[in-house]
Amino acid sequence: NAGVTQTPKFQVLKTGQSMTLQCAQDMNHEYMSWYRQDPGMGLRLIHYSVGAGITDQGEVPNGYNVSRSTTEDFPLRLLSAAPSQTSVYFCASSYGLAGAQSSYEQYFGPGTRLTVT
């Protein structure tokens, strides 16, 4: 049981480049989400998914796309990287409302540090 995995751990992009941050979980969680963490701002929700084929926007969705074709995977795409997207990105998953009452907490991946120059 690997939990939530993210690749890559570090990435440097030039302005205008595109890339995909990978996220996978092996806990059969329905709910998955992407956050970005910036100094002094905590974690802010980018996009989330309540199940395969269903995604929705969070607080800061601009410049990012997501899809959820399987329960396990939830990739985050940067369409045209900008310096403002320099951040640490976390993927998280949980059973959500479909799970047991004691299982609402989110499990986080190790994060991806992205730098856009």
Partner 1 sequence: AQTVTQSQPEMSVQEAETVTLSCTYDTSENNYYLFWYKQPPSRQMILVIRQEAYKQQNATENRFSVNFQKAAKSFSLKISDSQLGDTAMYFCAFMKHTGNQFYFGTGTSLTVIP
Q: Which residues contribute to the site for partner 1 (CB under 8 A)?
A: 31, 33, 35, 40-45, 48, 50, 58, 88, 90, 92, 94, 96-97, 104-108, 110-111
Tell the smallest beta-carbon distance from residue 50 to partner 1 (Å).
6
3: number of CA atoms within 13 Å, CB side? 10
Q: Are strands 76-78 and 64-66 parallel, antiparallel or unpaired?
A: antiparallel
83 vs 110, beta carbon nearer partner 1: 110
Between CA 81 and CA 8 the distance in angstroms is: 16
48/64 with CB nearer partner 1 = 48
The pair of structure tokens assigned to 74 is: 């939830």
How near is the Cβ of 73 to partner 1 at its closest, in Å?
Answer: 18
